[in-house]
Amino acid sequence: MGEANRPNQFVLCVTQWWRGKDSEGNLMPLHWALTCDTSGTDNIQAGDVYNAAGNIDTFCYEAERNVPIRHDGWRGSLVVGRIPVASLNQFERILSQIPVTRHDPCWNCQNWVWLSLRELRQAGFAIDPDLTMARLRGDMFGLLEAWETGDI
């Protein structure tokens, strides 16, 4: 499971999954979500997934509980912070209030993840203070390359 949860904290990750190609055969951007491993094993990770689900005209906030995180579409998870178990309700409330944008071809789940991390950091959650959108994109691309070469 990578970095272990502490007894009273969840490790927060940005996780990405492969989405394949669109109807015209173009590669779609990887789907990003915030994830917390809450159950499972090293080989079969399960946990909570928070994301902007849908597509350009249906995006909405979605929270899923105890679902597989590492499956065939998985392309890596990056540790970005820790969430105290006692603050999980506040964490989820903040995420539920992050705006989603529809009908904008420049906006997707990756933008939602970044906005969420910024809001969580501003609310006092332990989010990597050196994390920027540029670094996040670079690190996530590095994970994709590591997956493609079999390093993860």
Given a contact cutoff of 8 angstroms between Cβ atoms, the answer to whether 40 and 72 are in contact is: no
Q: 133-148 vs 109-122: helix axis angle to the nearest 10?
A: 130
Residue 1 has pLDDT above 50, yes or no: no
For residues 22 and 88, the model is more confident at 88
Given a contact cutoff of 8 angstroms between Cβ atoms, the answer to whether 130 and 116 are in contact is: no
Six token digits for residue 74: 């998985």
Grade residue 4 by pLDDT with cuts at 50, 70 and 90.
low
The per-residue pLDDT of the chain, averaged, comes to 93
- Ramachandran quadrant class, 126 (left: phi over 0; alpha: psi -120 to 50; beta: rest): beta
Picking from 52, 119, 115, 128, the residue whose alpha carbon sits closest to that of residue 91 is: 119
Six token digits for residue 34: 């915030």
Beta carbons within 8 Å of 2's beta carbon, 6+ residues apart: 11, 13, 37, 77, 79
For residues 22 and 90, the model is more confident at 90
For residues 32 and 20, the model is more confident at 32
Given a contact cutoff of 8 angstroms between Cβ atoms, the answer to whether 76 and 16 are in contact is: yes
Q: pTM for the whole thing?
A: 0.91
Grade residue 44 by pLDDT with cuts at 50, 70 and 90.
confident
